[in-house]
């Protein structure tokens, strides 16, 4: 087994054995979801986000792709796509880092100390700089609306997807069985 594959398995297993809820996509250790809790003593404290992670074949030499699935109001996280602007993931990634670092250090630090001078969400950055209390209130509003009952939201989405599937109905003719292609007498 190659070193990157072994490292992927080691890092994902460490994450799975930690306090994080990890769900693999199609039993693939290179794509999974992690339930991430907002850091205490921040407006994000009561939130729980589903974070999508993709590990490239070159991991740990190449950084993972990280994105928030449910909405979050933060200057350095795109509200629509969930992509994260974080130097340590995007530019200064090192093989010394692992998945535990991302969820125990990097993301909590990002939520605690947003950088409004390098925003992905201009509205959040402007609000944080001009009216920090209003920013905190908006964050809490988003937490309540989008990051409180994520399992219930996922269950609802699954039900909606199931109900959107077309149903197969019995196809009956008027009671007569007809051959698929009758041959004329030759």
Which pair of structure tokens corresponds to residue 9? 């398995």
Three-class SS string for 59-111?
CCCCCCEEEECCCCCECCECCCCCEECCHHHHCCCCCCCCHHHHHHHHHHHHH
Using alpha carbons, list the distances in angstroms from residue 101 to 23, 24, 122, 166.
18, 19, 27, 44
Q: Which residues fall within 8 angstroms of residue 9, CB to CB, at 6 or more apart?
A: 29
Specify whether 11 is catalytic.
no
| Torsion angle of the four alpha carbons 42, 75, 51, 47, in this order, in degrees rounded to the nearest 10 | 30
State the catalytic residue, choosing from 16, 35, 45, 85: 85
Compute φ and ψ for 125, nearest 5 degrees: -65, -45
Query: Which residues does the annotation mark as catalytic?
Result: 85
């Amino acid at each position: 087994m190659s070193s990157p594959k072994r490292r992927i398995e080691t890092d994902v297993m460490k994450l799975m054995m930690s306090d994080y809820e990890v769900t693999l996509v199609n039993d693939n250790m290179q794509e999974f979801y992690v339930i991430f809790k907002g850091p205490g003593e921040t407006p994000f404290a009561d939130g729980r986000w589903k974070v999508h992670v993709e590990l490239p074949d070159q991991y740990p030499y190449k950084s993972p792709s990280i994105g928030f699935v449910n909405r979050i109001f933060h200057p350095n996280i795109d509200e629509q796509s969930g992509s994260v602007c974080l130097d340590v993931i995007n530019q200064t990634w090192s093989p010394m880092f692992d998945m535990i670092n991302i969820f125990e250090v990097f993301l909590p630090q990002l939520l605690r100390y947003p950088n409004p001078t390098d925003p992905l969400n201009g509205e959040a950055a402007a609000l944080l700089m001009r009216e920090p209390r209003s920013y905190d209130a908006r964050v809490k509003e988003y937490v309540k609306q989008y990051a409180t009952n994520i399992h219930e939201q996922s269950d609802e989405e699954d039900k909606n997807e199931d109900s959107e599937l077309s149903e197969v109905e019995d196809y009956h003719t008027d009671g007569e069985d007809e051959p698929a292609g009758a041959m004329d007498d030759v």
